[in-house]
Amino acid sequence: MNVRKFLATTVVLTVIGGAAAGCSGETNNNAAGDNKDAGAVKQEVTLNYRTEPGALDVSKTTQIAGFTVLNAVGEGLYRMNKDNKAEPALAKDMPKVSADGKTYTITLRDGVTYSDGTPVKAQDFVYSFQRSVDPATKALYSFMVAWVKGGADVQKAKTPEEVEAKKKEMGVKAIDDKTLEITLERPIPFFTEQLSFLTFFPQRQDVVDKFGNKNGADAESVIGAGPFKLEKWAHEQQLVLVKNDKYWDKDNVKLEKVTLNIVKEESTGLNLFQTGASDLQVISADNIGLWEGKPEYVLQPELSSWYIKLNEKNVPAFANKKVRQALGMAIDNKAYIETVMGKGPVPATGFVPNGTSDGNGNEFRKSAGDLMPKFDPEKAKALLKEGLAELGLQSLPNFTIQVDDHNTGPKSVEFIVAQWKQNLGVDVTAQPLPHKLRVDNENNHKYQASVSGWGADYNDPMTFLDMWITGGEFNDVDWSNPEYDKLITAAQNELDKAKRAQYMVDAEKILLQEMPILPNYFRALSWVKSTKIDGMLFPPYGVEFELKWASVK
Amino acid sequence: MLRYTLRRLLYAVITIWLIVTLTFVLMKNLPGDPFENSEKLTQEQKAILARQYGLDKPLSEQYFLYLGNVIKGDLGVSFQYPARKVTEVIGQGMGASMELGIWSILLALAGGITLGTIAALRHNTNWDYTAMFTAVAGVSIPSFVLGPLLSYFVGVKLKWLPPGLWFEPEHRILPAIALSFGTMAILARLMRTSMLDVVNQDYIKTAKAKGLSGSSIVLKHIFRNALLPIVTIIGPVFVGVITGTLVVEQIFSVPGLGKHFVQSILTNDYTMISGLTIFYSVILVFVLFLTDIAYGFIDPRIRLAKGKG
């Protein structure tokens, strides 16, 4: 009897176990140990990758993890080089731009093909752009392609027939197999750089039709014209890239194989890095202190700005400029970074982060200078007093500041609240929330103050500055300044790049004087990279790293 | 027996329906929306997406659509991985989770039974104390502490085993140990108590009086009878282990299902959350159902008692 009972349970377990074993077949491939054997320099690297990319589909990818892989597997008309300048890639040379800055005529390089040998045609770009703005594609990044004339009309079309009709009117045309003509809604000074972003990569209709909803879901459906091919994609585990021998510039691609192991836990990633099982790992907070100054350490500035939002509608006192300035001036941003983040980010010197181009060949931050009021508790106290007097208040009413409840969020808010208490005598309630709820509250204007951040969608100050125009979609601080609105509108319509840049500099000055938001720091990512890897680039936006010119020393 | 089985089956179906419904209700009450980069989506874009995913329909309609799809085995498309169905994601992750679960349960069984047996047979000696100390440590040290310790000391310092990843057989060892330790401790204590109980039974005294050899008594009488409580809890423990791999999977970069749980909740990936919950519930209910049936089959008293109730 006892044995029978034992057997019964064993059978149950065996059935389940057998089913499980049947499911695990595909994942047992080695790669981690491949480059352990030193000696001959193999052009192979193994990198820890912190997340599983979503769909590797030119239209549908929204995460930086996906951008990075697609940028290795695919290519656009241009590619960003080590100086963050666009250089011809699938395009033969730089575009011919019409006098009004709206029409770009681009000729493709001779003999460019996808990794399967099929030629890249101008029509593939037309198809790609049209597919991205088609509402049926559900492309979250379609807003960029909607800069192309008529793109927004396709997005808004209601019926499939209307979508097709609007697509034909869109400002992207294949003059012949090699000539592409793109007409924009309005001039965009940074559009050539933007053409290097994956949303503007070519796509093949035959591939998309063949794989349908599964396009970009597996290695076989990811076909690009870039320096590498996606040879293998074991979901949640590993992606293997190998050199694409059909790439037009294959002579400049040194790496033969790149293995990306999905390692989400930083400490595990570092353990693997230390044992030599990996050549790259992203690091944060405490680990930066341990690696900084060593040859493995790489600091990658991001086009990402972090700041405190003050909602003027929900806290009437925030409508007073002096109150806002006082709150901003009372926070020591240098100490904030050192206390909360260890190292990495740099204190904000304005709202637009370091590294952002001004659209006129210069760096915006250098043109605009340091606009951030200095940390000055005494002056902050005086300003608060004046501001409160203007409002007829004795003290600042208690308000709540929301923050993400993970990563550095809780420590951040603790620091900010302590600074305000210590330097201004103001009591503030901290409210850590899940990221999505924090953002949701902001979108719905249901918060008083919020620790927030914004990363660039493209390398131009406008991605940061047009947020704060009156009634703007993302202006959730409910601040309004007619002068600011005027400058942004002027910049949006200005063809002269120098004038345009100046308008944006002037706009940012107003923003930093008025302080509807209190800038704190510009974020930077820290990595440890094996010293044997040479030529790997860490661009400030768009992708996490660029492998085209990387090699093993 | 048929009536009993059908009744059990009905209970199982009702349980799953309740879970499916509850998951739907809870999901709908989650704050935020499921689209990544939602901070950058305009209201208009959000409306388009909501329409495309059917999130703008009345709740009752959404519920019946969802229920119908679940019955058909369609758990929807993940919001985070738009080219992959939830069932595919689960299928791909299930292998590693199950494998890790099976290794760790085997390890826990072998270790737990051995430790428990030694402790009981060497009752109140240093053997007993050492085994029970190990057991207490096993219960007290959570896997999220043990995992990183193993990864660092065994992986980086001693270089005996890889500190993470999931490719070769040796990649299985550390996560399986980290995951099995707690279960092993519970089983050891259970085995010890159970054996001590049996040792004091009259039939053991009889066996001794009959002059049976020590090893024969231990193997034929004590060990086999003491194993019963272990057999009883092994089903739920098994489910517990394969569903409790979340932290260990994360620490050792095991491509299992655990990470999806955390990630899907953080990103409000509704379809993934409900899909995983339903999947795990179905496994648990299925194992319990089979255990019930097996019991009913083996022991008619259970069947009759439940049948009448």
pLDDT digits (tens, 9 = 90+) for A281-316: 999 877 888 898 999 999 998 999 999 999 999 999
Token pair in block for residue A455:
């990363």
* pTM metric for this prediction: 0.81
The confidence score (pLDDT) of residue A30 equals 42
Residue B263 lies in a domain: yes
Retrieve residue A311's tokens: 């909602």
A to B CB pairs, distance under 8 Å: 214
Q: Which residues of A fall within a CB distance of 8 Å from B166?
A: 27, 237
Contact (Cβ atoms closer than 8 angstroms) between residue A201 and residue A129: no
CB contact B29 to A (< 8 Å): no
CB contacts under 8 A, B 239-258 vs A, are: 250-253, 255-256
Q: Region A489-510: what's the mean pLDDT?
A: 94
Closest chain A residue to B93 measured between Cα atoms?
A236
| Cβ–Cβ < 8 Å for A215, A117 | no
pLDDT for residue B14: 93
Q: What is the rounded CA–CA span in Å between residue B79 and residue B62?
A: 16
Its domain, for residue B139, covers 93-267
User: Could you say which DSSP state residue A82 is in?
Assistant: T
Q: What mean pLDDT value characterizes chain B?
A: 82
Cα separation, B166 vs B172, in Å, equals 7
Q: What is the pLDDT of residue B33?
A: 63
Residue A418, SS3? helix
Point out which residues pair with B71 in neighbouring strands.
none
**Residue B244's pLDDT is what?**
59
The rounded percent of chain A whose pLDDT value lies above 70 is: 93
B175: left (phi over 0), alpha (psi -120 to 50) or beta: alpha
Query: What's the rounded Cα separation, in Å, for the pair B305 and B4?
Result: 10
Domain count, chain B: 1
* Residue A263 to residue A423: CA distance in whole angstroms: 42
Q: Using a CB-CB distance cutoff of 8 angstroms, which residues of chain A are in contact with residue B227? A: 2, 6
What are the φ and ψ backbone dihedral angles of B263, each rounded to 5 degrees?
A: -65, -40
Query: Would you kindly state where each structural domain of chain A is located, as residue ranges?
Result: 45-260+530-552, 302-525
Which one of B36, B95, B250 has the shortest CB-CB distance to A63?
B36
- Name the CATH superfamily, with its identifier, for domain A45-260+530-552: Periplasmic binding protein-like II (3.40.190.10)
Separation CA B17–CA B66 (nearest Å)? 12
**At which residue do the structure tokens 């496994």 appear?**
B283
DSSP per position, A165-180: HHHHHSSEEEEETTEE
- Antiparallel, parallel or unpaired: β A399-404 and A428-433: parallel
Count of C-beta atoms within a 10 Å radius of residue A157: 19
Report yes or no: B175 at the A interface, CB cutoff 8 Å. no
Instruction: Inform me whether the pLDDT recorded for A368 exceeds 80.
Output: yes
Q: Is the ipTM of this complex over 0.90?
A: no
Would you say residue B257 lies in a domain?
Answer: yes
Q: Which residues of A touch B77 (CB under 8 A)?
A: 213
C-alpha–C-alpha distance, residues A239 and A231, integer Å: 8
CATH code of residue B137: 1.10.3720.10
Give Dmax (Cα) for chain A: 92
Residues B170-215: tens digit of each pLDDT? 999 999 999 988 888 888 999 999 888 888 888 888 888 888 777 7
Looking at the complex, does the CB of residue A36 fall below 8 Å from at least one CB of chain B? no
Helix orientation angle between B224-243 and B170-199, rounded to the nearest 10 degrees? 140
Contact A424, A398 (CB under 8 A): no
Least confident of A10-19, A363-372, B204-213: A10-19
Residue A537: the pLDDT is 95
Encode pLDDT of A85-137 as tens digits.
899 999 999 999 999 999 999 999 999 999 999 999 999 999 999 999 998 88
Q: How confident is the prediction for chain A on average, in pLDDT?
A: 89
What single DSSP character describes residue A44?
A: E
Q: Beta partners for A180? A: A106, A174
In SS3 terms, chain B reads as CHHHHHHHHHHHHHHHHHHHHHHHHHHHCCCCCCCCCHHHCCHHHHHHHHHHCCCCCCHHHHHHHHHHHHHCCCCCECCCCCCCEHHHHHHHHHHHHHHHHHHHHHHHHHHHHHHHHHHHHCCCCHHHHHHHHHHHHHHHCCHHHHHHHHHHHHHHHCCCCCCCCCCCCHHHHHHHHHHHHHHHHHHHHHHHHHHHHHHCCHHHHHHHHCCCCHHHHHHHHHHHHHHHHHHHHHHHHHHHHHHCCHHHHHHHCCCCCHHHHHHHHHCCCHHHHHHHHHHHHHHHHHHHHHHHHHHHHHCHHHHHHHHHC
Interface subset of B 193-222, CB within 8 angstroms of A: none
**Angstrom distance (rounded) from CA A528 to CA A297:** 5
Tell me what pLDDT residue A343 has.
78
pLDDT in tens, B292-301: 777 776 666 6
Instruction: Please tell me the predicted confidence (pLDDT) of residue B218.
Output: 80
What architecture (CATH level 2) is domain A302-525? Roll (3.10)
Residue with tokens 């005027």: A486
B158 pLDDT above the threshold of 70: yes
Which tops the pLDDT comparison, A66 or A12? Answer: A66
Distance of alpha carbon A119 from alpha carbon A110, whole angstroms:
10
d(CA B248, CA A138): 35
Q: Which of A129-138, A139-148, A176-185, B1-10 has the highest mean pLDDT?
A: A176-185
Contact at 8 Å (CB) between B198 and B222? yes
Q: What is the pLDDT of residue B297?
A: 67
Whether A169 has a pLDDT exceeding 80, the answer reads: yes
Q: Which two tokens stand for residue A59?
A: 């239209």
| Per-residue tokens: B30 | 């989650």
State residue B307's pLDDT score: 43
Q: What's the rounded mean pLDDT across residues B252-260?
A: 86
* Residue A250 in this model has a pLDDT that exceeds 90: yes
Interfacial B residues in 281-300 facing A (CB < 8 Å): 283, 287, 290-291, 294-295, 297-299
| Paired tokens of A490 | 């002027």
Q: What is residue A11's predicted lDDT score, i.e. its pLDDT?
A: 41
